[in-house]
């Protein structure tokens, strides 16, 4: 399991929509370019134990997990 790199926060808005705020400046260095030339990033949205001072109930972190073995 890799290090936890948090890049955003979020909370529920109207109609149970989870509103997420992500810092693009922090995110750019973790993008991966695929064979099709497009850039991707794996993110995990994690529910926090309790809301923070701004009412945020979720954190957004970069998924840094890498497979050790090739999949056939």
In a domain, residue 71? The reply is: no
In a domain, residue 38? The reply is: yes
Does this model's pTM top 0.75? no
In a domain, residue 72? The reply is: no
In a domain, residue 18? The reply is: yes
Encode pLDDT of 14-29 as tens digits. 777 888 888 888 788 8
Encode pLDDT of 28-55 as tens digits. 888 888 899 998 888 888 889 999 999 9
Q: Tell me how many domains the chain contains.
A: 1
pLDDT value for 51: 92
In a domain, residue 12? The reply is: yes
Cα dihedral value 24, 27, 33, 37, nearest 10 = 0
Strand duo 58-62 + 43-47: pairing: antiparallel
């Amino acid at each position: 399991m890799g290090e936890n790199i948090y890049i955003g926060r979020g909370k529920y808005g109207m109609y149970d929509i989870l509103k997420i705020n992500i810092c693009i400046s922090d995110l750019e260095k973790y993008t991966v370019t695929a064979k099709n030339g497009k850039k991707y990033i794996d993110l995990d949205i994690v529910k926090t134990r309790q809301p923070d001072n701004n009412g945020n109930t979720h954190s957004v972190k970069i998924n840094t997990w890498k497979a050790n073995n090739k999949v056939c």
